[in-house]
Amino acid sequence: MACGLWAATMHNSSLCALSHIPLIYFKSTFFSFKDEIYEQTCSVAMGSPLSPIIANLFMEDFETRTIESFPLKPKLWKRFVDDTFIIWPHGKEKIIIFLQHLNNQSNSINFTMAMEENGSLPFLNILINRNQDGTISYQVYRKKTHAEHYLHANSHHHPSQKFGVLNTLATMVVRISDQDHFEKEKNHLMNVFKKN
């Protein structure tokens, strides 16, 4: 069984445990919203170049401690920022207990879970499919709310920006789609390009 775990609302107040890093890096952000000025008082500073590094260090430590302290281990655990893909060989009942274990480790992190349905599981912008013969196939995943709105060909954007959008979408199809889905995705993109 494959599962996707998403770490939502990551407020890494536990980062202050990294005592060798000055606290100013954790609490030095002011921002405005609707004409009000706010100070961020927990977690790493938004926009700081150190924030992704510190958050990643925290998550690596969090994962190591959490997985080691649970009696059952995932067969595979891969994380990209706050999205985690795991393969769990111990059944649905135990994955629920494991999710509770994850969420009991820190008040500042809340994991949510999506489970494989009908042999498919979206992860980031990839739809991972388990085929009848046991092989895995891949294709581009678009959320239900995805509207296919991109820079219009007649917009007043520089041509390099328009080309950049086209290039990014085409590169995504080439890198993600397997042979079985490539033509379908290519045709989809051609239709999208015509509409935009």
58 Cβ neighbours under 8 A, 6+ residues apart: 12, 14, 15, 18
- Are 61 and 71 contacting, i.e. CB atoms less than 8 angstroms apart? no
The two tokens of residue 82 are 């706050």
- Residue of 57, 56, 70 whose CA lies nearest to 20: 57
pLDDT of residue 6: 46
- Are 45 and 25 contacting, i.e. CB atoms less than 8 angstroms apart? yes
pLDDT at position 7 over 50 = no
Give the model confidence (pLDDT) of 65-112 as tens digits.
999 999 999 999 999 888 999 999 999 999 999 999 999 998 878 899
List the beta bridge partners of residue 140: 126
Q: How far apart are CA 13 and CA 7, in angstroms?
A: 15
Pairing type for strands 120-123 and 83-87 reads unpaired
- Residue of 49, 42, 37 whose CA lies nearest to 23: 42
- Are 76 and 63 contacting, i.e. CB atoms less than 8 angstroms apart? no
Q: Mean pLDDT across the stretch 118-137?
A: 92
Q: What percent of the chain has pLDDT above 90? A: 46
Residue entry with tokens 């926009």: 47
Quick check: helix, strand or coil at residue 79?
strand
